[in-house]
A = this chain, B = another copy of it.
Amino acid sequence: MTVGELGEFGVVARIAARLPQGAAVLLGPGDDAAMVSAPDGRVVVSTDLLIEGRHFRRHWSSGYDVGRKAAAQNLADVAAMGAVPTSIVVGLGMPADLPLTWLDGLTDGFREECALVGASVAGGDVTRCDLVVIGVTALGDLQGRAPVTRAAARPGHVVAVAGRLGYSAAGLALLEAGRATGGEQAEREPRWGDVVAGHRRPSPPYACGPEAARLGASAMLDVSDGLLQDLGHVAAASGVRVELDPGALPVAEPVAAAAKELGADPLDWVLTGGEDHALAATFPPDVRLPASWQVVGRVVEGEGVGVTGRETGPGGWDHFR
């Protein structure tokens, strides 16, 4: 059965039935607007659009994968401010012939990714579109803390990362080269399961965002367009230079293996691969970092981002080029 056969109000009811609300949602789906708790009198808000064919392909990613990914990239933005996500709202454009099984998977993906951080889906909107288009807006609570922006990195601070780097880029490269398959069976492939799964569904280190804020991070962001490019935003906003130590950058074994298979340099994926939604932050030098944060460089006077011993271009992802 398809979404067109079920009709708009049936689709809305079907989605809502799969989405229990958490305690922060004071009024859930079914009215003109939802109402969400904002305990400290401020709300952190981030929005992203995901477009079929550009951010995901239905033959490589299930509805469930896409739901996880769509929620994850916005929840990671909230965490990157040092906030705890409370809820998401979702605008969903779908072709009439979209199978309900795909929609159910998508809905379950939203629910389960939100559940990782104690958030839930507070509301949304459905409409018809020739492509699957997903607009996710995430809300979060700073628990009384100041937001960690990109603008307060200072020379002498250390640069550290939490979470995975290069997995999504490695998985995409294997899929594009035909060395790995997409769809449901991909994660059962023993060799490439980790990186293909990493492309289909990022695993942002959500708790590390508020953790970094409590530790006194001076700047933070989530790595969505590649470490080099994203740290370039920190450098520009803070008026500093970021110098990365290539020997300190984490090259995970599955990423190294994929690079070997394709004759690629794994450090390229670590430096320029987006969509893993790791967190990158700067900290004053006296902060004792827990194991979740790995020091990969330092903040110096100057501008831009460098990798000691390597030539680097901007190397990230421009959505219009």
* A residues adjacent to B (C-beta < 8 A): 3-4, 6-9, 11, 26-27, 30-49, 51, 54-55, 76-78, 80-81, 83, 87, 89-93, 96, 122-131, 133, 135, 137-140, 142, 147, 149-150, 220-222, 237, 318-321
Q: Is the CB of A77 within 8 A of B33?
A: yes
Query: Is A4 within 8 A of B320, CB to CB?
Result: yes
Q: What residues on B are CB-neighbors of A36 within 8 Å?
A: 42-43, 45
Q: How far apart sit A30 and B238, CA to CA, in the bound complex (Å)?
A: 12
Q: Which of B37, B41, B127 contacts A55 (CB 8 A)?
A: B127
A sample of 12 cross-chain residue pairs with beta-carbon separation below 8 angstroms, ordered by A number, consists of A9-B318, A32-B220, A34-B44, A34-B45, A35-B42, A36-B45, A38-B42, A45-B87, A48-B127, A91-B135, A127-B319, A135-B135
Which residues of B lie under 8 Å from residue A78 when comparing CB positions?
A: 32-33
Are B47 and A90 in contact, with the CB atoms below 8 A? Answer: yes
Residues of B near A47 (CB, < 8 A) are 89-91, 123-125, 135, 137
Tell which of A32, A41, A91, A220 has the most Cβ of chain B within 10 Å.
A32
Chain B residue at minimum C-beta to C-beta distance from A122: B45
Copies in the complex: 2
A80-B32 in contact (CB<8A):
yes
Beta-carbon contact of A320 and B96 below 8 Å:
yes
Q: Are B6 and A320 in contact (CB under 8 A)?
A: yes
Could you tell me if B150 and A320 are in contact, using CB atoms closer than 8 angstroms?
no
Chain B nearest CB from A131 CB (Å) reads: 8
Q: What's the nearest-Cβ distance from chain B to residue A35, in Å?
A: 5
What is the CA–CA distance of A156 and B89 in the complex, to the nearest angstrom? 35
A3 contact set on B, CB distance < 8 A: 320
- State whether A8 touches B319 (Cβ < 8 A): yes
Q: Which chain B residues lie closer than 8 Å to A38 at the CB level?
A: 38, 41-43
Q: How far is the CA of A45 from the CA of B38 in the complex (A)?
A: 11
Nearest Cβ on chain B to A262's Cβ, whole angstroms: 26
Name the residue on B nearest A77 (C-beta).
B32
